[in-house]
Chain A
Amino acid sequence: DAGVTQSPTHLIKTRGQHVTLRCSPISGHKSVSWYQQVLGQGPQFIFQYYEKEERGRGNFPDRFSARQFPNYSSELNVNALLLGDSALYLCASSLVGARGYTFGSGTRLTVV
């Protein structure tokens, strides 16, 4: 069975640009969450989506947005990139009501 898949694995963007990161959850998982992990720190919660609706949002600016599609895949969008947005972006999926998440390998974003 495929795990949580994220794309791309790496990318480099310039300050001010926009980026879209993609995530496909494990088959049957309807909940998708996004986390930002800055180098040397623990992951920070950005969003949770379930049934295409935002169910939770962390303390991130409005430049960060996300959506979930009917097949439960998800996109994370970041506008007006800043150097501080450089991080590993992790996607996690879960069954509804489950007490645990499965993480993808992440997308490493570098803003120059």
Chain B
Amino acid sequence: GDSVTQMEGPVTLSEEAFLTINCTYTATGYPSLFWYVQYPGEGLQLLLKATKADDKGSNKGFEATYRKETTSFHLEKGSVQVSDSAVYFCACLIQGAQKLVFGQGTRLTINP
């Protein structure tokens, strides 16, 4: 069935370090791909998205490229800040079913 697998956390980095959170998906057709961020005690906020192969989503210094050949959508940021500490979820929107399938989440902590 449809599924999303994320890099297991937690991930702890120092401020200004480079970040990569891996995400791969299994889905039929051509799903849209998303990264959501969740701060403590809050709901999900859309961070970025890509709707077709080779699209690059970007926002707030974060980037992810839709790679159909490797079924991946890895999240990257060149220089993280303490305020980036949160839980990050990769998700795909299943065509036709109109439902999001989420990964298990990766908790990111940035130390000053």
Contacts and interface: CB of A to CB of B under 8 A. Distances in A.
B45 to A, nearest CB: 7
Given A99-B51, A100-B32, A42 B103 contact: yes
B43 interface: yes
A18 B73 CA distance: 40
Interface residues of B, number: 23
A44 B105 CA distance: 12
Contacts, number: 57
A28 interface: no
Given A104-B43, A106-B43, A56 B99 contact: yes
Nearest to B51: A99
A90 B49 CA distance: 20
B101 interface: yes
Contacts of B101: 45
19 contacts: A31-B98, A33-B98, A33-B100, A42-B102, A42-B104, A43-B44, A45-B99, A45-B100, A45-B101, A48-B99, A99-B51, A100-B32, A100-B46, A100-B49, A102-B46, A103-B36, A105-B42, A105-B43, A106-B42
Interface of A: 31, 33, 35, 40-45, 48, 55-56, 58, 88, 90, 92, 99-106
Given A56-B98, A90-B44, 4 more contacts: A48-B98, A55-B98, A56-B99, A106-B42
